[in-house]
Amino acid sequence: MRIMGLDLGSKTVGVAISDPLLVTAQGIEIIRRKDENKLRQTLARIEVLIAEYEIEKIVLGLPKNMNNTMGERAELSLEFKEKLERRTGLPVVMWDERLTTAAADRAMIEAGIRRENRRDHVDKIAACFILQGYLDYLTAQSEQEK
């Protein structure tokens, strides 16, 4: 079993997948789109990746405001969740993504990636942070049950 992590942006979707043991998240690609409202090609590419990696669940970042309220971006993510579930038939878990982009940026700075190159990777790394947070949560849940 593998899980896919997604970071939905206005023009990109960062994609990460778990290893088969559900321990680590790896970024695999950034899906770029010309128009925020055009999702058909994005959904088609996600379907190809689901088949290729034998994905059984999707974790989608939920961009809540810092005060825990839901803004316009969060509403768009919830709409995207519904489209994903209808199109793929897979369960989609919403995961709080506050500060994941900032954490991804920090990680790239620490790795010495130049500013002009960071935007090429930030969404994929943010998707890794989202998915890794969920995988760590699953590990903690299974430890509590023991």
Given this model, what pLDDT does residue 143 score?
A: 81
% of residues, the chain, pLDDT over 90? 56
pTM of the model: 0.86
Given this model, what pLDDT does residue 124 score?
A: 85
Interatomic CA distance for residues 40 and 32, integer angstroms = 12
Tokens of 41: 């090609």
Q: Where are the domains of the chain?
A: 2-145
Sign of the CA dihedral running 109, 111, 116, 118 = negative
Mean pLDDT (the chain) is 87
pLDDT in tens, 21-39: 999 999 999 999 877 777 8
pLDDT in tens, 42-100: 999 999 999 999 999 999 999 876 777 777 888 999 999 999 999 999 999 999 886 66
Q: Is the pLDDT of residue 117 over 70?
A: no
CATH number of the 2-145 domain = 3.30.420.140
Given this model, what pLDDT does residue 11 score?
A: 87
What is the residue-wise DSSP string for 61-86? Answer: EE---TTS---HHHHHHHHHHHHHHH
